């Protein structure tokens, strides 16, 4: 999209192919002249691969003159072989504006070319090894042993040097260079490493670009150019105008409609096609079409969403958001889909028809309502594609707050259908709170097993009694072979306020609960360790409230160490073993996942809420897991045998001293038992815990939420 004589190009845009007459010289200085305001950050010359078994060559261009009157000069040493290839230019690794581009290739002597290449090798002798390891070759590298003579070996080294010095991977760009390097290495989002090509997005009927009072012409042009470079045609793009938009849009020869008109526009589209709705300033990956081709063109999905990051004005991308697979509860409390999605026309029109409230609402309310509808009711037709294909622009705070209000409205619409008694509120920091409008009536049995350790049991019980505002609960204490007189005395005193059960067998956490639970007359079971301490009166009410959400089977709780750092906020499959807690030891609320309830694979039995009927229906806990993994096993059974979800609450209110009743260290026998139970658990659930559907495959299992 050319605006005011300038081309607004997304980061990593390809320009070309370049045209050269058949060169007769061996080496040349390639010179590039870029006119325009830029910025031109680390421009590259791309030598396109000639066959599928090859990779592109990315040659960094070096600035050679001071920028004068919006003109920037760059150069690189280039061989005839490269000049005879298909060549492209990446003007900038940042969003950029170009007025025009000129280039030339001037012959230089071999001796001079050798000096230039030698300088690069001397500056960084490890470049050749790095280039070879990364296979940034552009041709099939023959095995070293096939070069029998010293002359042949030197010729091969020279060829390698001419193609790969310097290697582009050494360049650091953007405010998060590590992420940009990772992104480029894995997805070619900046410097392409495969033959430039696009695939037409035949499944998209409309790409809508929304405008608001902060929108500039440059942002519109940037987004439209991004769409065009990905294969979306001008006839499939429209601008959605906000009431306060005050822009001269004469340069944009695109349909311009209001949000109300957009709803009518959707009714005329093919219901089996998709909408892509972006805010001006957002961009999409140039190979989005090819990526979608891996799914096939006959989409059966209602919602396809991608990972995303944010555009860094200083170059590259930042703040990656790697998402879980379909997570209905997570999406209800936190709109992780945002604008990084394709949403079916049929779903949008169906929601507009089903929810009268949407008729006069913002497009963001419609988009979020549609996404939640698919996630909650049509899970088979939701697809997560774990690749950062959408690069979002940063929203001004006022726009961010406006969109948050629109999303709150969508949440209220959905809650009116799935949980009309629940109210959800979020603050400006993204922390969500929820409650039931009426007083909950379901009876909860709080089960606390113990074996002596009155120093732990008494504070736990007293804190439950003092800090539980939920009206309908009972305390159930299970005494497992206590021996101390003081324990017997305390349990006797407690018998007027709690049910006391005796479990006169060797400790088996699973069997203990199975035997007691079948004797209880209750609606809900709350498993609670004796080394916990309640700190908030709403802790149980918050857990029970979440049981009102559709298809929820287990609710766990955020647990804190006594120093108020995280002890538990859910478990991840494959993390440092078969399954492990994540975010352990970080400060409360220092991570977004600590601010709202989320779908997870499993939660700890230290504080776990489940319906008694469900517990019995799945056969309770596996008694082969006497000490460890029995709670995780229970959660997986709920998910895969009962088809219900497991979620973890962010409300907290419980401190966990974590296994102090068993001690911090393990004897050799205890360690052997732990290893055996871990092996048994993994063999039973291996195919369901790796990969964990709620942990993005781009992330490390060694360091939680770190890049692979």
Q: How many domains does the chain have?
A: 3
For residues 480 and 360, membership in a common domain is answered with no
* Per-residue confidence (pLDDT) for residue 505, from 0 to 100: 95
For residue 704, being part of any structural domain is answered with no
Kindly report, residue by residue over 68-97, the tens digit of the pLDDT.
788 999 998 887 778 888 899 999 989 999
**Domain boundary at 187, 222, 255, which?**
187
For residues 144 and 247, membership in a common domain is answered with no
* Per-residue confidence (pLDDT) for residue 111, from 0 to 100: 74
Average pLDDT of 221-238?
92
The whole-angstrom separation of Cα 554 and Cα 176 is: 38
Band (pLDDT 50/70/90 cuts) for residue 159 is low
For residue 50, being part of any structural domain is answered with yes
For residue 76, give the H/E element and its range. strand 71-79
Neighbours of 392 (CB within 10 A): 20
* Per-residue confidence (pLDDT) for residue 679, from 0 to 100: 94
Residue 198: how many CA atoms within 13 Å on its side-chain side? 17
Residue 57: how many CA atoms within 13 Å on its side-chain side? 27
As to burial, measured by CB atoms within 10 angstroms (0-12 exposed, 13-18 middle, 19+ buried), residue 582 is buried
* Per-residue confidence (pLDDT) for residue 313, from 0 to 100: 78
**Domain boundary at 153, 187, 221, which?**
187
For residues 149 and 247, membership in a common domain is answered with no
For residue 427, being part of any structural domain is answered with no
**Domain boundary at 187, 218, 239, which?**
187
Kindly report, residue by residue over 329-356, the tens digit of the pLDDT.
999 999 999 999 999 999 999 999 999 9
For residue 194, being part of any structural domain is answered with no
For residue 706, being part of any structural domain is answered with no
- Judge whether residue 495 has pLDDT over 90: yes
For residue 435, being part of any structural domain is answered with no
For residues 492 and 556, membership in a common domain is answered with yes
For residue 513, being part of any structural domain is answered with yes
Band (pLDDT 50/70/90 cuts) for residue 665 is low
* Per-residue confidence (pLDDT) for residue 138, from 0 to 100: 40
For residues 265 and 163, membership in a common domain is answered with no
For residues 461 and 412, membership in a common domain is answered with no
**Residue % of the chain over a pLDDT of 90:** 62
Q: What is the 3-state secondary structure (H, E, C) of 547-613?
A: CCCCCEEEEEEEEECCCCEEEECCEEECCCCCEEECCCCCECCCCHHHCCCEECCECCCCEEEEEHH
For residues 112 and 37, membership in a common domain is answered with yes
* Per-residue confidence (pLDDT) for residue 165, from 0 to 100: 47
Average pLDDT of 684-697?
94
- Judge whether residue 166 has pLDDT over 60: no
For residue 565, being part of any structural domain is answered with yes
Q: 306-320, 552-566, 634-648 — which is least confidently predicted?
A: 306-320
Average pLDDT of 154-172?
55
Average pLDDT of 7-24?
86
Q: Which residues have CB under 8 Å from 599's CB, separation 6+?
A: 324, 327, 328, 329, 330, 645, 646, 647, 694
For residues 453 and 416, membership in a common domain is answered with no
For residues 315 and 390, membership in a common domain is answered with yes
User: What is the full DSSP assignment across 330-372?
Assistant: HHHHS--STT-EEEEHHHHHHHHHH-GGGGGS-HHHHHHHHHH
* Per-residue confidence (pLDDT) for residue 280, from 0 to 100: 95
For residues 398 and 450, membership in a common domain is answered with no
For residues 147 and 217, membership in a common domain is answered with no
More confident residue, 245 or 703: 703
Neighbours of 123 (CB within 10 A): 10
Kindly report, residue by residue over 568-600, the tens digit of the pLDDT.
999 999 988 899 999 999 988 888 899 999 999
For residues 37 and 126, membership in a common domain is answered with yes
More confident residue, 430 or 163: 430
Average pLDDT of 386-406?
92
- Judge whether residue 49 has pLDDT over 80: no
618 lies in which domain range?
444-689
- Judge whether residue 203 has pLDDT over 60: yes
Which CATH number is 671's domain given?
3.90.550.10
């Amino acid at each position: 999209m050319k605006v005011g004589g300038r081309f607004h190009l997304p980061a990593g845009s390809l320009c070309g192919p370049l045209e050269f007459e058949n060169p007769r010289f061996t080496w040349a200085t390639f010179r590039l002249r870029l006119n325009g305001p830029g910025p031109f950050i680390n421009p590259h010359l791309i030598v396109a691969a000639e066959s599928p078994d090859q990779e592109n060559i990315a040659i960094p261009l070096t600035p050679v003159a001071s920028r004068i009157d919006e003109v920037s000069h760059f150069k690189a040493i280039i061989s005839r072989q490269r000049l005879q290839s298909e060549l492209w230019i990446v003007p900038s690794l940042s969003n950029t504006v170009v007025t025009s581009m000129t280039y030339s290739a001037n012959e230089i002597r071999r001796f001079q070319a050798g000096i230039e290449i030698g300088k690069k090798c001397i500056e960084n002798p490890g470049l050749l090894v790095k280039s070879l390891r990364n296979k940034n070759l552009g041709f099939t590298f023959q095995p070293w042993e096939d070069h029998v003579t010293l002359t042949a070996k030197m010729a091969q080294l020279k060829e390698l040097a001419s193609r790969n010095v310097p290697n582009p991977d050494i360049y650091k760009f953007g405010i998060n260079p590590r992420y940009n390097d990772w992104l480029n290495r894995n997805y070619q989002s900046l410097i392409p490493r495969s033959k430039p090509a696009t695939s037409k997005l035949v499944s998209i009927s409309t790409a809508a670009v929304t405008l608001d009072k902060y929108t500039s012409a440059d942002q519109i042009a940037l987004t439209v150019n991004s769409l065009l470079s990905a294969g979306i045609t001008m006839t499939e793009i429209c601008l959605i105008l906000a009431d306060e938009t005050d822009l001269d849009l004469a340069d944009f020869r695109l349909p311009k409609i209001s949000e109300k008109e957009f709803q009518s526009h959707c009714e005329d589209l093919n219901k089996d096609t998709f909408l892509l709705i972006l805010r001006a300033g957002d961009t999409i990956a140039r190979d989005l079409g090819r990526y979608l081709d891996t799914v096939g063109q006959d989409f059966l999905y209602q919602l396809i969403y991608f990972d995303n990051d944010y555009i860094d004005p200083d170059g590259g991308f930042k703040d990656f958001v790697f998402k879980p697979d379909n997570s209905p509860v997570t999406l209800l409390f936190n709109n992780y889909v945002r604008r990084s999605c394709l949403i079916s026309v049929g779903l949008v029109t169906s929601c507009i028809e089903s929810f009268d409230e949407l008729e006069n609402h913002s497009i963001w309310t419609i988009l979020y309502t549609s996404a939640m509808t698919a996630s909650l009711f049509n899970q088979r037709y939701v697809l997560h594609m774990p690749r950062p294909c959408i690069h979002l622009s940063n929203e001004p705070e006022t726009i961010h707050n406006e969109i948050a209000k629109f999303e709150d409205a969508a949440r209220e619409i959905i809650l009116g259908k799935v949980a009309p008694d629940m109210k959800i509120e979020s603050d400006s920091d993204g922390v969500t709170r929820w409650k039931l409008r009426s007083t909950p009536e379901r009876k909860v049995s709080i089960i606390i097993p113990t074996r002596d350790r009155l120093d732990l049991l008494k504070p736990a019980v007293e804190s439950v009694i003092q800090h539980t505002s939920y009206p309908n609960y009972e305390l159930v204490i299970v005494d497992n072979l206590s021996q101390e007189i003081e324990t017997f005395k305390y349990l006797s005193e407690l018998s007027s306020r709690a049910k006391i059960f005796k479990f006169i067998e060797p400790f088996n956490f699973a069997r203990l609960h199975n035997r007691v639970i079948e004797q209880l007359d209750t609606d809900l079971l709350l498993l609670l360790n004796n080394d916990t301490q309640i700190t908030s009166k709403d802790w149980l009410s918050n857990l029970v409230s979440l049981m009102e959400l559709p298809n929820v089977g287990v609710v766990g709780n955020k647990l804190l160490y006594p120093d108020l750092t995280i002890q538990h906020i859910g478990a991840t499959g494959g993390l440092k073993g078969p399954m492990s807690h994540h975010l352990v030891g970080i400060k409360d609320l220092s991570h977004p996942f600590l601010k709202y309830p989320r779908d997870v694979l499993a939660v700890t039995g230290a504080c776990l809420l489940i319906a008694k009927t469900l517990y019995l229906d799945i056969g309770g806990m596996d008694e082969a897991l006497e000490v460890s993994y029995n709670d995780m096993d229970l959660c997986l059974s709920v998910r895969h045998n009962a088809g219900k979800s497991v979620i973890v609450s962010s409300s907290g209110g419980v401190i966990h001293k974590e296994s102090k009743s068993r001690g911090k260290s393990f004897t050799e026998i205890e360690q052997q038992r732990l290893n055996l139970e871990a092996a048994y658990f993994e063999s039973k659930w291996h195919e369901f815990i790796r990969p964990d559907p709620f942990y993005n495959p781009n992330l490390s299992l060694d360091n939680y939420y770190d890049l692979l």
